[in-house]
Amino acid sequence: MRNLVMIPALGCDGGLYADILPRLSVVVEPVTIVADSDTLAGCVHMVLERAPEKFIILGTSFGGRTALEVAFAAPQRVEGLVVIGAWPGVAADPSAGFRRTERLRGKEFESVVTEMADMVSHLPGPNGAKARNAFISMAQKLGGALMARQSAALAKRLDLWPKLGEITCPSLMLWGREDKFSPAADGLRMSTSLPHGRYAEISECGHFPSLEAPEETADIILHWLQDNTFI
């Protein structure tokens, strides 16, 4: 059975994947690692220290960017890559990322969490409100200090677009069509930039497919695992 390392989004813990784990854990050995550093290099180091020797890596948003960085850092260990709602470019407005970091460190933690919750979910969708509430619960549990470190790491990210061709393992880009943080077009472009990339899109879904459309998300991942003989 293959190992599956799962890296949650900014402000999220293993609850982000709770609804898809029952099906995935039948065919893979899952482990969730909450990356906690104010640099992506530090996040990569943490993941590689805690991960099995060989593994498939899956990440969402901040976790997806961390997963990309891990795939570059340890190609000999990463057997497959699943990126959900994370693009490989620089921050569109790094100053906004640094402002968010300072707000999380200060007295505006609850306001930032509410603002993010309103963006992560496609509220008109069938599970939009549920996903919004789940994010708020996870963020409140993890707290502002951890989220501030993750936010700082994202604000300092570099441009990986020119290097995508170096990732040669099977790769799946999975997006919600209504993603407000990272447009679905980014995922499609990534999939065509990777030697063995595949793109899948879920309608009526925002930034967190594993919360908003767990059955479809699990189906897509399972089919990809099967097609690449991981199971």
Quote the domain boundaries for residue 120.
Answer: 2-227
Q: What is the dihedral of CA 222, 2, 82, 53, to 10 degrees?
A: 180
What pLDDT, on a 0 to 100 scale, did the predictor assign at position 231?
86
Question: Are the beta carbons of 167 and 71 closer than 8 angstroms?
Answer: yes
- For strand 78-84 and strand 171-176, is the pairing parallel, antiparallel, or unpaired? parallel
What pLDDT, on a 0 to 100 scale, did the predictor assign at position 199?
98
What pLDDT, on a 0 to 100 scale, did the predictor assign at position 91?
81
What pLDDT, on a 0 to 100 scale, did the predictor assign at position 95?
87
What pLDDT, on a 0 to 100 scale, did the predictor assign at position 84?
98
What pLDDT, on a 0 to 100 scale, did the predictor assign at position 230?
94
What pLDDT, on a 0 to 100 scale, did the predictor assign at position 130?
95
* Order of strands across the sheet that contains 171-176: 28-32, 2-7, 55-60, 78-84, 171-176, 197-202
Please give the tally of structural domains in the chain. Answer: 1
What pLDDT, on a 0 to 100 scale, did the predictor assign at position 134?
98
pTM attached to this predicted model:
0.97
What pLDDT, on a 0 to 100 scale, did the predictor assign at position 108?
95
What pLDDT, on a 0 to 100 scale, did the predictor assign at position 96?
84
Segments of the chain scoring below 50 in pLDDT: none
Contacts of 224 (CB under 8 A, 6+ apart): 82, 170, 172, 198, 200
What pLDDT, on a 0 to 100 scale, did the predictor assign at position 34?
98
What pLDDT, on a 0 to 100 scale, did the predictor assign at position 52?
98
**Domain containing 203 — which CATH number?**
3.40.50.1820
* Spatial separation of the C-alpha atoms in residues 193 and 196, rounded to whole Å: 9
